């Protein structure tokens, strides 16, 4: 897979490994028949500026030969039944499982230590983590989760902490990566709560390869952003089912604007690497993904603003145009920050999109053609077209050289795209740092253009 991306000149940054990479669904282990030399594999991928992610879920396989299970059991670290003394035994992917009581700071501290390189055998500093099933999912529980009368640290019933349980697990995992690398952690989580935005990204869960799911991903991701969880996205192509070439291509064309962008599919679906949908579609998908990388300086600057101000990266139109009633209910178009409007193609077989531009000056991202809003018209589309516009009055920073990863782009020059408003003025911002450390030096610069200034 890694070599395939390079062979087809498609950039990517992360390879993800789901539960089948483990030894019998014992997390933080490796299936030695499939991954006999995990450290060497991770180091090879990292040599090209890329990372890997493995899945680690909160259920611990009940197995006396599994060191993580035995140690947690000996330390009395599991959630208890209603009697307050017996470890709760629930059913999840490994079968019979125990659940770490991450509401306890002692348990969270212990769990964070398990991500040390001396603990997680086969890992390196280029391996990051993905927490799934952390609501928590219990297959044989009521509502597919824990009973409300289970007991946590301090005698607290599960009903009191259910909504925060997943965030505690997420936070403990992220703390483990922070300790290991002494830099910003990256841990994806399915469960979240108020405060999760300080821990890491989330995604919308198990969607399907369906046009309705493509369409609904837009209000789902923008709503998460409005609540403060702006680092979010949906599985491109859908988790369940097999997207055809058209759906896959259209999903990439909007997915590149999700703040969190990845492809992810069920084990029993067909292979869906971007180059497997035919010669007509491979270059179109490549161009879409390259645009994501081209806009990385702009995206990174938006994330800096989000970290300081809480402003969402991907926004509904009404966020930028609150006084325009015509956009209040629009869910078929989005703003990437304040400067870029995207009207994705969301219907099968569509040969055009009804574009509606709010008041102001707009420039077609691909052709530079100028439009003055409010304006509504039918924009004809081939499979390669996605109506995208730069808002007049803004400067958009880009990096235009195609590269294999963000690491390979680090030293490339910036391109500043100036889109003047009706008065000939434009403003923007550029934020740069080392991309990893939590206390690095940084540059944050305002960029101003005016035709009235010499």
Confidence of residue 439 (pLDDT cuts 50, 70, 90): confident
- pLDDT above 80: residue 282: yes
What is the largest distance, in Å, between two alpha-carbon atoms of the chain?
78
- Whether the CA torsion 307, 313, 315, 320 is positive or negative: it is positive
* Close Cβ partners of 333 (under 8 Å, ≥ 6 residues apart): 317, 341, 342, 343, 344, 355, 356
- Residues 217, 221, 227, 228: what is their CA dihedral angle, to the nearest 10 degrees? 170
Q: What is the pLDDT of residue 451?
A: 82
Share of the chain above pLDDT 90, in %: 98
Nearest C-alpha neighbor of 299 from the set 441, 183, 156, 435 = 435
How deeply is 119 buried, as exposed, middle or buried, from its count of CB atoms within 10 A (0-12, 13-18, 19+)? middle
Q: What is the pLDDT of residue 454?
A: 55
- pLDDT above 60: residue 95: yes
Structure confidence by residue, pLDDT tens digits, 225-276: 999 999 999 999 999 999 999 999 999 999 999 999 999 999 999 999 999 9
Report the pLDDT averaged over residues 365-380. Answer: 97
**Among 57, 101, 126, 135, the one annotated catalytic:** 135
Share of the chain above pLDDT 70, in %: 100
- pLDDT above 90: residue 452: no
Report the pLDDT averaged over residues 129-138. Answer: 98
Q: What is the pLDDT of residue 284?
A: 98
Q: How far is CA 365 from CA 150, 174, 295, in A?
A: 55, 37, 12
- 259: which 2 tokens? 């703040």
Label the pairing between strands 59-61 and 95-99: antiparallel
Find the radius of gyration of the CA atoms of the chain: 23
Nearest C-alpha neighbor of 116 from the set 180, 52, 205 = 180
- 263: which 2 tokens? 């492809």
**Among 206, 212, 351, 400, the one annotated catalytic:** 206
Active site residue 132: yes
3-class secondary structure, 317:
helix
Distance (Å, whole) CA 30 – CA 177: 19
The answer, as to whether pTM is greater than 0.85, is: yes
**Among 101, 132, 175, 332, the one annotated catalytic:** 132
Report the pLDDT averaged over residues 380-386. Answer: 98
Q: What is the pLDDT of residue 208?
A: 98
- 342: which 2 tokens? 């995207």
Structure confidence by residue, pLDDT tens digits, 180-211: 999 999 999 999 999 999 999 999 999 999 99
- pLDDT above 80: residue 453: no
Structure confidence by residue, pLDDT tens digits, 321-348: 999 999 999 999 999 999 999 999 999 9
Report the pLDDT averaged over residues 124-150. Answer: 97
Report the pLDDT averaged over residues 203-226. Answer: 98
Label the pairing between strands 232-233 and 202-203: parallel
Report the pLDDT averaged over residues 279-294. Answer: 98
Distance (Å, whole) CA 253 – CA 273: 15
């Amino acid at each position: 897979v890694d070599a395939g991306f390079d062979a087809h000149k498609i950039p990517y940054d992360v390879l993800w490994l789901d539960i089948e990479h483990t030894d019998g669904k014992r997390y933080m282990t490796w299936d030695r028949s499939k991954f006999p030399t995990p450290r060497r594999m991770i180091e090879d991928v990292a040599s090209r500026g890329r990372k890997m992610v493995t899945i680690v879920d909160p259920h611990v396989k009940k197995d006396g030969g599994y060191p993580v299970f035995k140690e947690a059991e000996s330390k009395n670290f599991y959630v208890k039944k209603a009697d307050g003394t017996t470890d709760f035994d629930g059913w999840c992917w490994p079968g019979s499982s125990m659940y770490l009581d991450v509401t306890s700071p002692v348990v969270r501290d212990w769990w964070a230590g398990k991500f040390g390189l001396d603990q997680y055998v086969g890992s390196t500093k280029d391996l990051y983590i993905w927490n799934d099933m952390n609501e928590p999912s219990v297959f044989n529980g009521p509502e597919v989760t824990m009973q409300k009368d289970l007991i946590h640290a301090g005698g607290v019933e599960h009903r009191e902490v259910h909504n925060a349980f997943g965030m505690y697990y997420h936070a403990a995992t992220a703390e483990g990566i922070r300790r290991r690398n002494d830099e910003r952690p990256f841990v994806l989580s399915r469960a979240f709560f108020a405060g999760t935005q300080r821990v890491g990204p989330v995604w919308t869960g198990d969607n399907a390869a369906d046009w309705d799911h493509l369409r609904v991903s837009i209000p789902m991701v923008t709503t998460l952003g409005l609540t403060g969880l702006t680092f979010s996205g949906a599985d491109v192509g859908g988790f369940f089912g097999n997207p055809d070439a058209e759906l896959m291509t259209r999903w990439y064309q909007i997915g590149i604007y999700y703040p969190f962008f990845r492809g992810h599919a069920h084990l029993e679906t067909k292979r869906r690497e971007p180059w497997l949908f035919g010669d007509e579609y491979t270059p179109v998908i490549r161009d879409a993904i390259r645009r994501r990388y081209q806009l990385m300086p702009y995206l990174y600057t938006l994330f800096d603003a989000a970290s300081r101000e809480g402003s969402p990266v991907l926004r509904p139109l009404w966020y930028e145009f609150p006084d325009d009633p015509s956009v209040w209910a629009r869910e078929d178009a989005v703003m990437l920050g304040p400067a870029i409007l995207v009207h994705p193609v969301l219907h099968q077989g569509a040969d055009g999109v009804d574009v509606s531009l709010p008041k102001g000056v707009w420039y077609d991202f691909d052709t530079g053609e100028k439009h003055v809003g409010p304006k509504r018209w039918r924009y004809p589309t081939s499979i390669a077209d996605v109506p995208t516009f730069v808002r007049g009055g803004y400067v958009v920073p880009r990096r235009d050289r195609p590269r294999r990863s963000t690491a390979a782009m680090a030293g490339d020059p910036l391109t500043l795209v100036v889109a003047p408003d009706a008065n000939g003025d434009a403003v923007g911002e550029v934020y740069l740092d080392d991309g990893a450390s939590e206390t690095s030096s940084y540059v944050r610069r305002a960029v101003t253009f005016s035709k009235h200034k010499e």
